[in-house]
Amino acid sequence: MQLDIYDSIRQLANDWPNSDYPFIRYEFLAALERHNCTSDDTGWAPHHFAITTPQGKSVAPAYIKTHSFGEYVFDQPWAQYYQAHGYQYYPKLLLAIPFTPVNGPRAIGANQTELLQAIDQYLVDQRNVLSSHLLFAESSQRSLMQTHAVKRQDVQYHWFNNEYQHFDAYLEQLKSRKRKQIKASKRKIADAGVTIKRYRGEQLNEEKLALFYHCYHITYLKRGRMGYLNRGFFAELFETMADQLMLTVAYQHGAPIACALFFQDSNNLYGRYWGATTFVPELHFEVCYQQGIEYCIEQGLQHFDPGTQGEHKLLRGFTPVITESLHWLPDDPLLPEVKRWVDQMNAQAHQWYEEAQLYLPYKQS
């Protein structure tokens, strides 16, 4: 069995397996490359893995990185530590979905086990990168690749559908004070003249694309920087993946002022990109979180991952979950200190995970 490496997803176009998970679909990853979001110029040089057996082809997207932006695991302190002691940290190899801190498969196809085991051996043998990283992979795939890896853990906040028949049934599971806060927040938004609509599929036309990208882009500009993703990328997704996109738009007195773009598969909703031209109190929480919960209940989706970070999500019904990444670091005098730092961070993550349970808004069973 031979492990093949490709520097463009286009070389794999005819053999890329279908997937319900949106972020490992060919259309998503190809749009990133086609519109120069992942390239040598951006420090995300494609380095995809594949094996071919009689059962078919299996693939895993990967990238050579010269920085740590857009990953959401935050290993910059490690890089600074190495640099301060005269060692290089970059380039590094990343098995991950660019700009997407969402748990899920990092390989697909008929022979994922064989592929991941081959990559695991490659990580042991390779010499062209200084470190390697597997980010936000599902547990079954992480378990195949733990040889010599440092395990880094963190906390995210997800919502789980307890077979709610409607949004009010969900609210009834919350403590009285939290339920009243959510209802008051919705009234405040309505009193500000704001209405909210959702769009899917063929409704995601050029007008909706222009609105979304304007909101997305201007929100980054307010922070003094550009977004990672450009208009061409989103335009291609609106054409090729509209069946897995949902756009929530807020209108104030009939004029659009904010929106959020979600992805979905058969069981999950993923909140990804938000933007607004006008500040309205509580609007971000409604557009990005409450609307996502309502949509999951209406569509029968079982799980909602609204994006990384944000302890404020706890008070809105999101539950803490532990995420993991694996890191193959150079075996040099600095490694023990990095391991100690990771152990401390993992302990803090678990401590917060336990404490966070106390802030959940649900009634005690």
Give the per-residue pLDDT at 148.
Answer: 84
Give the per-residue pLDDT at 291.
Answer: 97
Average pLDDT over residues 96-121: 94
Work out the percent of the chain whose per-residue pLDDT is above 90: 86
The pLDDT of residue 17 is above 80: yes
Q: How far apart are CA 217 and CA 236, in angstroms?
A: 17
Q: Calculate the average pLDDT of the chain.
A: 94
CATH of the domain at 100: 3.40.630
- Single-letter amino acid, residue 6: Y
The pLDDT of residue 194 is above 80: yes
Q: Work out the pLDDT band at 358, boundaries 50, 70, 90.
A: very high
Domain shared by 241 and 327, yes or no: no
Range of the domain at 111: 4-154+321-359
Q: Work out the pLDDT band at 315, boundaries 50, 70, 90.
A: confident
Give Cα separations from 154 to 212, 294, 310, 322, 348 (angstroms).
30, 27, 12, 6, 9
Average pLDDT over residues 94-119: 95
Answer whether residue 24 is part of any domain. yes
CATH of the domain at 228: 3.40.630.30
Domain shared by 141 and 211, yes or no: no
Q: Could you give the angle at the alpha carbon of 100 between the alpha carbons of 97 and 106, nearest 5°? A: 30
Domain shared by 226 and 286, yes or no: yes
Q: How far apart are CA 231 and CA 186, in angstroms?
A: 31
- Total residues found in the chain within this entry: 365
Asked if residues 166 and 160 have their Cβ atoms less than 8 Å apart, the reply is no
Give the per-residue pLDDT at 252.
Answer: 98
The pLDDT of residue 5 is above 80: yes
Domain shared by 110 and 178, yes or no: no
Q: Work out the pLDDT band at 155, boundaries 50, 70, 90.
A: very high
**pTM for this entry:** 0.95
Domain shared by 132 and 206, yes or no: no
Domain shared by 194 and 254, yes or no: yes
Count the domains in the chain.
2
Residues 6 or more apart whose CB falls under 8 angstroms from that of 46 comprise 6, 7, 8, 9, 33, 38, 39, 61, 62, 63
Answer whether residue 262 is part of any domain. yes
Answer whether residue 365 is part of any domain. no
Answer whether residue 306 is part of any domain. no
Average pLDDT over residues 219-241: 90
Domain shared by 147 and 11, yes or no: yes
Average pLDDT over residues 5-31: 96
The pLDDT of residue 365 is above 70: no
Structure-block tokens of residue 197? 């609509």
pLDDT, one tens digit per residue, over 157-177 is 999 999 999 999 999 999 999
Domain shared by 100 and 238, yes or no: no
Domain shared by 12 and 127, yes or no: yes
Answer whether residue 310 is part of any domain. no
Q: How far apart are CA 258 and CA 261, in angstroms?
A: 11
Domain shared by 281 and 209, yes or no: yes
Domain shared by 24 and 141, yes or no: yes
Average pLDDT over residues 55-68: 95
Answer whether residue 316 is part of any domain. no
Domain shared by 208 and 117, yes or no: no
Answer whether residue 63 is part of any domain. yes
Average pLDDT over residues 344-348: 97
Give the per-residue pLDDT at 364.
Answer: 79
